A and B are shown apart, each in its own frame.
Chain A
Amino acid sequence: MIETLLPILYLVASVTFIIGLKMLGSPKSARKGNLIAGFGMCLAIAGTILFHTDSAGTHLHNIPLILGGIAVGTIIGWMMAVKVKMTAMPQMVSFFNGMGGACAALISLMEYKETGSVSAGHGAATMAGLIIGSISFSGSIIAYVKLEERMGDIRFTGQQLVNNGLLLAVLIVGACLALSALTGFPLALLLTAGALLFGVLFVLPIGGADMPVVISLLNSFTGVAAACGGFLYNNMPMLIGGILVGSAGTLLTVVMCKSMNRSIWNVLLGNFSAQGAASGATEGATGTVREVSATDAAVLMAYAKTVVIVPGYGLAVAQAQHACHQLENELEEKGVTVKYAVHPVAGRMPGHMNVLLAEADVSYDKLVEMEEINPEFPTTDVVLVVGANDVVNPAAKTDTASPIYGMPILDVELAKQVIVMKRSMKAGYAGIENELFYRPNTSMLFGDAKTSMSALVAEIKLI
């Protein structure tokens, strides 16, 4: 009786993962889907602790320590997840992803320490879990640090060569350990160190704007690492959950790349940023920039018929989403139609901007996607660009030499007036100049997005 209970719990858990993932794909059912998958996870964990037996029929030892570990992890994880600001969500996801990767790597390391490589299949799964988990861990942590803006992009000459060489070495040593051509726990530790180093080197040169793609990719890596564990222990929920995330995550990564009109290799090899820096330095757009005061900008918007707000990462960094919603309310009171134009990759992750604006109570139907809003720009009176740059760069349409050439953008330059809210004239994440700022119908409102936004609200109230 007891023996069949665990497989049943595991089956239920596996099904909840599938249903949960499916439900996460639709706005109405997403929250429920998350809860269902979470419930399945609890069943699988409780079932494992209570009923798991090895082939000899002995139950698990160290139960108090296991429960203690779960308690510690729950408290820390819960606190972090509840406290994190909505703007910092992408790096939080990256951090938790790294923890999963580290967990998978540790499992493989311990498995190798206990048993070595029993067979080619067993050894391959152990080494794959170790390598992929380690890369996912160190890569995610670097992604986390970069998104926290505590580290810039680091590039050096021959980086590609070093990375490829290291990866090749890691793979060869991993294969040798798997096939027992080489043995020994110290070598496995060395392999771990190599994989960790590769994870760091691999994320270092990738630009900030590409981080979502990297996080999504590392997310699917961790899924595969978890599946390796499932293969080792013949454990179905691990195998099913891991592979599902691995394949869904890969698809998500490709979709993200597509919305930036780039190939995954282009992102991973860091070509984009390197080219961008070069082209920005040599052929920067020139001309005069017109600055506008908050007072003038307020008048311009208050007497407009239609205003389209283009939110970008600058809005998120400055926490200006609430002030932005206030501005929208003030303008609506004056009879102005206000809409938000949300670029697919606005913010740091697809959909990130929607989450932020939803947090500030901006109504869902005011958020218009790129394809729908683009035909409306020629009849729009004022476009207010808040901390967005690359997604409104007309060079993407005209300049074949531009590294972002071909990326679908918001056609804001077609509007009658464009007001760009920006901290300085610094280039965006792609590291290239934006000729939009030099156009005759563009004016710049310099300053922190939140401060400028509040100033605008105050000025509009006076009108």
Chain B
Amino acid sequence: MDASTLQLIYLIVLMAFLGVELIGHVPSVLHTPLMSGANAIHGVVIIGSIIVMGHATDTASIILGFAAVVLGTLNVVGGFVVTNRMLEMFRKKQ
């Protein structure tokens, strides 16, 4: 295993702990918005779709890549907008 792969694995393990720490003591009121917010953040997968689309040459790859970009965008945009709408409900009361 080369050094950069090892670094990636370190990063993965540390991030896994950080994720647990970050939401350790969240009130149950916020579970739904939190799930939705996390849902938006994993929309970062769109970057991968942009990269594969950017390297696609044949028609089949371009079609698949285009679909991936559209789906990834749906995840990002839908995720953040839905979360924002949920949280607006709370803001009114503050």
Residues of A at the B interface (CB closer than 8 Å) are 13, 17-18, 20-22, 24-28, 30-31, 33-35, 37-38, 41, 44-45, 48-49, 52, 54, 59-63, 65-66, 68-70, 72-74, 76-78, 80-82, 84, 86, 89-90, 92-93, 95-97, 99-100, 102-104, 106-107, 109-111, 113-114, 121, 215-216, 219-220, 222-223, 225-227, 229-252, 255-256, 259, 344, 349-352, 354-355, 358-359, 361, 363-364, 367, 369
Contacts and interface: CB of A to CB of B under 8 A. Distances in A.
Contacts of B85: 81-82, 86
Contacts of A69: 53, 66, 69-70, 73
Interface of B: 1, 4-5, 8, 11-12, 15-20, 22-57, 60-62, 64-94
Could you tell me the dominant secondary structure of chain A's interface residues?
A: helix
30 contacts: A21-B38, A24-B33, A25-B34, A31-B88, A37-B40, A38-B40, A61-B54, A61-B55, A66-B50, A66-B53, A70-B69, A73-B76, A77-B81, A93-B39, A96-B39, A97-B42, A106-B64, A106-B68, A107-B45, A110-B61, A111-B52, A121-B5, A241-B41, A241-B44, A242-B44, A247-B18, A247-B20, A251-B23, A344-B28, A349-B32
A106 B66 CA distance: 10
A74 B79 CA distance: 11
B66 to A, nearest CB: 5
Given A45-B46, A111-B52, A251-B24, A72 B73 contact: yes
B87 A31 contact: yes
B19 A107 contact: no
Nearest to B12: A243
B62 A222 contact: no
Given A20-B41, A246-B16, A239 B8 contact: yes
User: Counting chain B CB atoms within 10 Å of each CB, which of A17, A106, A252 scores highest?
Assistant: A106
A27 B41 contact: no
B52 A86 contact: no
B74 A235 contact: no
A26 B91 CA distance: 12
Given A81-B85, A107-B49, A249 B38 contact: yes
Contacts of A245: 19, 38-39, 41-42
Q: Which of B15, B17, B78, B93 has the most CB of A within 10 A?
A: B78
A298 B79 CA distance: 42
Contacts of A349: 31-32, 35
A27 B30 contact: yes
- Residue from B18, B26, B47 with most neighbouring chain A CB atoms (10 Å): B47
A425 to B, nearest CB: 30
B48 A107 contact: yes
B78 A251 contact: no
B40 A34 contact: yes
Contacts of A77: 73-78, 81
A89 B76 CA distance: 16
A228 B89 CA distance: 35
A351 B23 CA distance: 15
Nearest to A75: B77
Closest 10 CB pairs of A and B: A73-B73, A60-B54, A247-B19, A69-B69, A77-B77, A229-B48, A81-B81, A100-B75, A350-B31, A226-B45
Contacts of B92: 358, 361
A227 B90 contact: no
Given A31-B87, A219-B42, A350 B49 contact: no
Contacts of B80: 34, 37-38, 41
Contacts of B35: 93, 215-216, 219, 249, 252, 349
Contacts of A24: 23, 26, 30, 33-34, 37-38, 83
B85 to A, nearest CB: 7
A81 B82 contact: yes
B19 A226 contact: no
Contacts of A65: 53, 62, 65-66, 69
A21 B22 contact: yes
A83 to B, nearest CB: 10
B64 A351 contact: no
Contact of B32 (A62, A90, A97): A90
B45 to A, nearest CB: 4
Given A31-B84, A81-B81, A246 B19 contact: yes
A86 B31 CA distance: 15
A167 B74 CA distance: 28
A234 B90 contact: no
